[in-house]
Structure 1
């Protein structure tokens, strides 16, 4: 009997060890690329503020705003992931601040893509009026309106949250891991979030598709610059892809809900980590790759800063920098 209990105890300890080891492995596999993407995004943000031509060109100003939102969103998502992986239970106020800030930046991305699409539309369809309509001042005003609209959404969510009877709770300490779903404490909040998300993404899709169709029709005109029009069409198509990737992140929770019901816990955790990489992380880092590599003005500056950082990291104190000149 004692031998049987010892055997069961050993198996249980081994399973617990495997669970901790697998969780640690997944955390490393997710955290390392996330840190790399955050580094690339940070370098891209530095590049966009390093030269006057980037600070004074409207499309680069909009790109900077998009990157700020994506970088903050990525950092917050990874923070919540690490907190959950470490089995840390936050309080409702702390979780509310993190999720609401993530919700703020989540809405910024599609709205900024809409403004960027409209800028390309004006550049192709009204080239003579582009310089007077798309100014740095008007671009700054558009960015302020985007942040104001997103902030209004957060204010409404806070008002709906305050209607929840927190006094009935024994403690403000959460019994589940911090997430956006965990902060939907009432049916009103859940319904509002679904309706608002649908409104934003449907409206953004309509605007981007409309500008793409308008630019395509303008390409048939003999008076337009074919090369410029084709480049604008490709840019708008990329905006539509980015919007689709951002929209895919809204399917993360529903997919997990379905998988939780039809799979075992260990398989569910593994699939959850894979979905987190492809649905949450990748869409937040594509802007740097798309614009940094595609844009002829940004690419050399971005590669210069990335390569310089690599050389500095490779050269050790007391080493010989000339050995790394060709890396």
Structure 2
């Protein structure tokens, strides 16, 4: 599946024409941004394991799964970027393992968003049955099914590679998912799967959003709860669009390369990589951490290394 891992390869491929100084200037902001995003996600991990309620509530368990997939995808993409920037050529087996992990984690995110949307839909439209339908056991089974479906996709892609005869195990290009699509059949399958995945996820999230809007007009529905669920589902739809943006990154960059010079395209690639590939992987932690009243104070405490500063108290002391 063509996604974030192809972007860092495109950037590093252009960097091979520059000196070490320019390599550092282009790579440092990307690596620094990724480190910041990984620290934010790590703080969210500690937050979601700091209280028992986070481990026993389905929507927090689903959030943890989404956060895990996004963080793993970000780390793998950055690792491949560093390897490419350092001009390290991998073998096909090693690159295949890395790209398979990238594909699995990348596909888990939209499917997890579907589960989170369905959970909010049941909470609003079937509040009396929510406790019996959305249980921890059912949530864990749903998560296992999501990982199984994405792993099955990778298995099919591996089987399609068996028809390709490797004359040499050493790759001649930088490791990326696009460079592992070695046959037209693999490339066509990847495009069809990507299209079906995001169309299905989009239909599921949009249908849940419409269902919640219809239920919100019912006199028997809690208006405040329905409004919060509607905003959450709208947020899921935005996140799904952000995940989809990674799939159009490579065609977009390829089109830009035809009209601008190499130095300009490297700068554009760096900006797009951070904004379109890395930043969406960090948004889950920020959005849910800031919006959720249970998570927000704990997350802020972790981000601030537990040093809490009360502006109100300081102001009172100064006044006295």
TM-score, normalised relative to structure 1? 0.87
Q: Does 1:250 align with 2:247?
A: yes
Q: Does 1:85 align with 2:85?
A: yes
Q: Deviations over 1:41-85 (max 9, x none)?
A: 111112112211000000000000000000000001111111111
Q: Of 266, 269, 286, which residue of structure 2 is paired with 1:269? A: 266
Deviation at 1:18, TM superposition (A): 6.2
Q: Secondary structure at the match of 1:175?
A: coil
Q: Distance in 2 between matches of 1:310 and 1:69?
A: 29
Number of aligned residue pairs: give it.
293
Name the counterpart of 1:278.
275
Name the counterpart of 1:47.
47
Alignment of 1:178-327 (within 5 A): 178-308=175-305
Q: Secondary structure at the match of 2:177?
A: coil
Name the counterpart of 1:319.
none
Deviation at 1:310, TM superposition (A): 7.0
Q: Distance in 1 between matches of 2:277 and 2:203?
A: 23
Larger mean Cα displacement after TM superposition, 252-261 or 111-120: 252-261
Name the counterpart of 2:34.
34
Deviation at 1:229, TM superposition (A): 0.5
Q: Distance in 1 between matches of 2:180 and 2:254?
A: 16
Alignment of 1:51-200 (within 5 A): 51-166=51-166, 169=167, 171-200=168-197
Q: Secondary structure at the match of 1:262?
A: coil
Name the counterpart of 1:325.
none
Q: Deviations over 1:289-312 (max 9, x none)?
A: 00011100001111112222679x
Name the counterpart of 2:318.
none
Q: Secondary structure at the match of 1:157?
A: helix
Are the aligned partners of 2:92 and 2:169 in contact in 1 as well (CA < 8 Å)? Answer: yes
Q: Secondary structure at the match of 1:145?
A: helix
Cα 1:309–1:31 change in 2 (3 A) is farther
TM-score, normalised relative to structure 2? 0.89
Deviation at 1:260, TM superposition (A): 2.7
Unmatched tracts of structure 2, length 5 or more: 1-15, 309-320
Unmatched tracts of structure 1, length 5 or more: 1-15, 312-327
Q: Secondary structure at the match of 1:32?
A: helix
Q: Secondary structure at the match of 1:223?
A: coil
Q: RMSD of aligned C-alpha atoms?
A: 1.5
Are the aligned partners of 2:73 and 2:106 in contact in 1 as well (CA < 8 Å)? Answer: yes
Larger Cα-atom Rg:
1
Are the aligned partners of 2:301 and 2:307 in contact in 1 as well (CA < 8 Å)? Answer: no
Deviation at 1:159, TM superposition (A): 0.5
Q: Distance in 2 between matches of 1:209 and 1:308?
A: 38
